Structure 1
Amino acid sequence: MFGDMMNMMGKLKETQKKVEETRKRLNTVLIDEASSDNKLKVTITANREIKGLEIDDTLLEDKEQLEDYLVLTLNKAIEKATKVNEAELAAAAKEGLPNIPGMDMFK
């Protein structure tokens, strides 16, 4: 029984390491999002860090319109990044978890 517990602890540490490696890798996964008319483009990492913005000059003439564009496009980019992030981290966690009864929430 003690050996099983040590083996389980080792697997959990290995899983934790895989999750951390996945988090680091997600910093390099870039997601591009654009407004429907391509006047605003956003680049964000899968860890939801904004890496770039491209704003069409016509949007600079109307502050309120620019703000609306930013809110809508950034929210779409964050939503996509969150889906990628959650899927990748869940896969990394599931891969290394031991088969513990009642802990099938990652399946």
Structure 2
Amino acid sequence: MFGDMMGMMGKLKETQKKVEATKERLNTVFIDEKSSDGLLDVTISANREIKAININGELLKDKDQLEDYLIVTLNKAIKKATEVHETELAAVAKEGMPSIPGMDLFK
């Protein structure tokens, strides 16, 4: 029993290290999102850090339109980045979870 507990603790520590390594790797995974007409282009990391925003000069003429474009395009990029982030971390966590009867958390 005690040996099993020590094994589980070791596996949990190993999984924690893998989760941290995955978070670091997600800094290098980029999602590009464009507005429907291509006038705005956003690049965001899978850790949801904005890396680049490219704005077509045409949008600079209309502040309200630019703000709307930024909101819509950034929200789409953040949603995609969040999906990648959560999927990657869930895969690592599932792989490293000890098998405890009755605790099927990741089905």
The two structures have a TM-score, normalised by structure 1, of 0.97
Question: Which consecutive residues of structure 1, in runs of 5 or more, have no partner in the other structure?
Answer: none
Q: Distance in 2 between matches of 1:86 and 1:13?
A: 20
Which portions of structure 1, spanning 4 or more consecutive aligned residues, are displaced by more than 2 angstroms? none
The total of aligned residue pairs comes to 107
Indicate yes or no: 2:65 matched with 1:65. Answer: yes
SS of 1:65 mapped into structure 2: helix
Indicate yes or no: 2:43 matched with 1:46. Answer: no
* Alignment match, 2:3: 3
Q: Distance in 1 between matches of 2:34 and 2:70?
A: 10
The two structures have a TM-score, normalised by structure 2, of 0.97
* Alignment match, 1:30: 30
Q: Distance in 2 between matches of 1:100 and 1:92?
A: 17
**Identity of paired residues, percent?**
74
Query: How big is each residue's C-alpha offset from its partner over 1:35-89, in whole Å with a ceiling of 9 and x where there is no partner?
Result: 0000000000000000000000010000000000000000000000000000000
SS of 1:105 mapped into structure 2: coil
Question: What displacement does 1:104 show?
Answer: 1.6
Question: Which consecutive residues of structure 2, in runs of 5 or more, have no partner in the other structure?
Answer: none
Question: What displacement does 1:26 show?
Answer: 0.2
